[in-house]
Amino acid sequence: MVDPSDRIPHHLTSVTPQGWHVMARDEEGWCVAIDAARMCCSIYETRPAICRRFVMSDPYCRDVRATYDDQRRRGIPLTLYNA
């Protein structure tokens, strides 16, 4: 959940059916603030508190990156949409 004190731009958030403000996700389920080409957060310096608790390079993070890299190497098609 995004806290109002996080000051995230409105276009990067969405509201769940329960009324919670969260980071918006793209068609593949990735956070819209992720720069897929560089695999990094495009708003890293101002990312929400919930994201600040995510530990970079922990086993889960490494697993997600490895899966993403594997899919790219296999040529699994990615569909890019203009925002």
Distance, in Å, from the CA atom of 51 to the CA atom of 32, rounded to the nearest integer, reads 13
The answer to whether 12 and 6 are in contact (CB under 8 A) is no
- Asked if 14 contacts 25 with a C-beta cutoff of 8 angstroms, the reply is yes
Query: Which residues, other chains included, contact 55 with Cβ-Cβ below 8 Å and sequence gap of 6+?
Result: 61
pLDDT of residue 45: 92
- Average pLDDT along the chain: 84
Q: Which residue has the tokens 């699994």?
A: 76
Q: Which residue has the higher pLDDT, 42 or 50?
A: 42
Q: Tell me: pLDDT of 12 over 90.
A: yes
43-74 pLDDT tens trace: 999 999 888 887 777 887 788 778 877 777 77
Higher pLDDT, 76 or 41: 41
